[in-house]
Amino acid sequence: MSQSVMGKFTRTFALHLEELKAVQLVAEDLNRICVFVQNLGAVDVYILSAQNLSVSDGIRVSPDGTYKNDTTTAALWIIADGENHLVRVEVDGN
């Protein structure tokens, strides 16, 4: 679901992750202003700059932790240290 407020767009969604399988968090988007991730699971998740990277290459987000990136419009990937894992994602843009 997207919402338009004074030319800005916000999209919020859930991602269900499988153990050690990288999935695309967000695609490259030159209009993206910020991506925000909330880790709702019981294991660490890792933010990656490419799909072929592993947890050791990522930025760790602990259980109940959050991640915010407002400096890149590049594609980002996410991977979990356990299965049946849930994260919430918000993407803001123009």
Condensed to tens digits (0 to 9), the pLDDT of residues 13-39 reads 999 998 889 999 999 999 999 999 999
Is residue 84 over pLDDT 80? no
Structural contact between residues 85 and 23, judged by C-beta atoms closer than 8 angstroms: no
- Tell me the CATH number at 17: 2.60.120.770
Burial class (CB in 10 A: 0-12, 13-18, 19+), 39: buried
**Considering its fold, how many domains does the chain have in total?**
1
What is the domain range of residue 82?
A: 2-93
Q: What is the mean pLDDT of residues 47-65?
A: 95
Q: What predicted TM-score, i.e. pTM, was given to this entire model?
A: 0.86
Range with lowest mean pLDDT among 1-15, 17-31, 33-47, 48-62: 1-15
Burial class (CB in 10 A: 0-12, 13-18, 19+), 82: middle
pLDDT at position 67, please?
97
